Amino acid sequence: MAKGIVLASGSVHRRELLKNAGVDFTVRPAELDERAVEAPLLGSGATPEDVAQVLAEAKATNVSESHPGEIVIGADQTLALDDRVFHKPANMEEARRTLLSLSGRTHTLNSAVVLVENGTVVWRHVAVARITLRDLDPGFVGRYLAGVGGRALTSVGAYQIEREGVQLMEAIDGDYFTIIGLPILPLLKELRRRGEIDG
């Protein structure tokens, strides 16, 4: 018998992906300090993929404690350029610096998704996409940020591929869902395998 499905994320994009796929779920964003969870990993040799997975697991486990018997989906994404891991920009100046750092270079998006039941991780997956931004003129970056406004602060790379952010890109290696932040095809496959959705 199918259990309730809970999405442990406040991300509008992840919610829309699941909703558009026809999955019946509730939303319960995790209440935790992501930077505090991440802090012990810094300098430990953990890869950006590891960081994304640990954060996804922490979110889902946090929510699972108050949703016994339900399947909790946790997800997180990291953006890495060489050895540097980026976070969502705190303000427009930080968004500008992020875009100029990524300009003309290839960065990696690591999108982790996990399923947790009764506080135990029962499935995990990390998908990787690589995006090359074109050489960005600083003046254009300023105009781009002025146009998108606060939306630049809602994603780790200060762009949304599904909107004007696609104009920043030169090449993409990876699927759309990984870039949005939820590898939905492997997630749906696992939910079907577990009998949680019709298949």
The Cα diameter of the chain in Å comes to: 57
User: What 3-state class would DSSP assign to 42?
Assistant: coil
H helices, E strands: number in the chain: 7, 7
- Which residues, at least 6 apart from 184, have a Cβ–Cβ distance to it below 8 Å? 17, 18, 21, 177
Among residues 76, 82, 83, 135, the one annotated as catalytic is 76
Chain centroid to CA 61: how far? 17
Reference 3, options 71, 64, 89; nearest CA is: 71
The yes-or-no answer on residue 82 being catalytic is no
Write out the catalytic residue numbers.
76
